[in-house]
Structure 1
């Protein structure tokens, strides 16, 4: 197994989301790799948790990366969050990401969960993606 591609994949995903025009039209520059200090905007995207499993075989080392991208809005209802979540999905699924280390074999949508956070107007959608990465260093 190799975890060596994890940082490269994260940087590529963040770069892809940060430069996607459709997503920027909805959330502006509010795409985060880590939560910023201070007040948050009413709609933002943040990279979340990752789970990695071995995918090595006779051809070489590799791994399956299952990672979460989170969309949060303070708008009542899910319409705004779902529009942003759709833009995230459109930007990532089958994206030709160039990694600093290794090769992206595939990137697919796995599942999503939309939920109200607490009793207020905050809505959150957790989008889970699966990426197969070959560590061909």
Structure 2
């Protein structure tokens, strides 16, 4: 197994999300790997947990990365969050990302979960994707 492509995959995902005009129109530059300290924006995207599984074969090292991208808002209702979540999905599904190490074989949507957080109006949509990478 190779976990060596993980950082390159994360960087490429972040850059793709950050560069997308539609997503920028919704969340601006509020796309995070780690949330800033202090007050968080009313709508933002955060890269979340990752689970990697070995998918090596006789041609070389590879892995399947199941990762979460969350859309969080303090707006009541899910409409704003769902618009941003759709934009995230549009950017990532079947994306042709160039990695600084290894290569992306496929990137697909796996599932989403929309929830209310706490007693306030905060809403969160966790989008889970699966990326198959090869460590060239």
What TM-score comes out, normalization by structure 1 length? Answer: 0.98
Pairing of 1:9-28 with structure 2 (within 5 A): 9-28=9-28
Q: Indicate whether 1:66 and 2:66 are aligned.
A: yes
CA distance in 1, matches of 2:109, 2:14: 16
Unaligned runs of 5+ in 1: none
Partner of residue 7, structure 1: 7
Runs of 4+ in 1 over 3 A off after TM superposition: none
CA distance in 2, matches of 1:131, 1:26: 25
Partner of 1:7, secondary structure, is: helix
**Aligned Cα root-mean-square deviation (Å):** 0.4
**How many angstroms does 1:26 deviate by?**
0.4
CA distance in 1, matches of 2:98, 2:3: 17
**How many angstroms does 1:108 deviate by?**
0.2
Pairing of 1:67-82 with structure 2 (within 5 A): 67-82=67-82
What TM-score comes out, normalization by structure 2 length? Answer: 0.99
Pairing of 1:1-137 with structure 2 (within 5 A): 1-136=1-136
CA distance in 1, matches of 2:17, 2:38: 22
Residues paired across the two proteins, number:
136
CA distance in 1, matches of 2:122, 2:43: 10
**1:24-74 deviation digits (Å, cap 9, x = unpaired):** 000011001111111011000000000000000111110000000000000
